[in-house]
Amino acid sequence: MSTFRQDTLVLDQRFDTLAKQHHLNGRNVVFHCHHYTTLYTQLAIDSNATALLSQVAEDAFFPMLESYFTEHGVTAIADRVDLGCQYFAAIGLGAMTVSYLSENAAEIVLTSSHVDAGWLKKWGPFDKPVNYLTRGYASALCSAVLGLPARSFKAVEIESVVMGAAQSRFRLVRK
């Protein structure tokens, strides 16, 4: 068990000029363009593939978070939550807080969201939530923080900026 508080994310950012790839803490990453994100989100909506978009996001983010916690010896739940929220910001997705977390449920709030801001700029308000990418990240975060396998949580966006709310909120339940 960790006896210290590790509250600063350590980032090793590298760019491979030959392959034209970004790496963050040894993992290949793609920094998100909100124009592109809105397009593939709309494609997922049109194709009834929004669950797939969330699952793909979870599959990408879970090993990134899990390996970071392991490699840096982060075992305290509070440290993992803080660092997971910092990671969300570092990869350009916005500002996230975990307002509640237990073994079976969680609530996550976005005070700013790259996906929502991009959607509003490109398409304007919408009649349903669109932040499937963050649903996947939130599920990955809760599983990694608690030391559970990926896909242990299901996330639902219960308030959405694109629907007029002041912030986006996600409720997670253990599967």
pTM of whole model > 0.85?
yes
When pLDDT is cut at 50, 70 and 90, the band that residue 153 belongs to is: very high
Position 43, amino acid? L
The residue range of the domain holding 139 is 13-174
Neighbours of 16 (CB within 10 A): 10
Structural domain includes residue 47: yes
Structural domain includes residue 131: yes
Tally of structural domains, the chain: 1
Pick from 52, 150, 138: nearest CA to 94: 138
When pLDDT is cut at 50, 70 and 90, the band that residue 16 belongs to is: confident
Structural domain includes residue 34: yes
Structural domain includes residue 7: no
Q: Does residue 42 contact residue 132 with C-beta atoms inside 8 Å?
A: no
Give the domain CATH number at 125: 3.30.1380.20
Structural domain includes residue 23: yes
Pick from 127, 121, 118: nearest CA to 165: 127
pLDDT of residue 1: 33
Here the tokens at position 66 are 């899990």
Q: Does residue 174 contact residue 105 with C-beta atoms inside 8 Å?
A: yes
Structural domain includes residue 8: no
What digits encode the pLDDT tens for the residues 99-142?
A: 999 999 999 999 999 999 999 999 999 999 999 999 999 999 99
Structural domain includes residue 48: yes
Structural domain includes residue 122: yes
The residues, any chain, with a CB within 8 Å of residue 46's CB and separated by 6 or more, are none
Neighbours of 92 (CB within 10 A): 12
DSSP-derived secondary structure for 28-44: EE-PPPHHHHHHHHHHH
**Distances from the Cα of 116 to the Cαs of 51, 71, 80, 123, 165, in angstroms?**
18, 32, 25, 10, 11
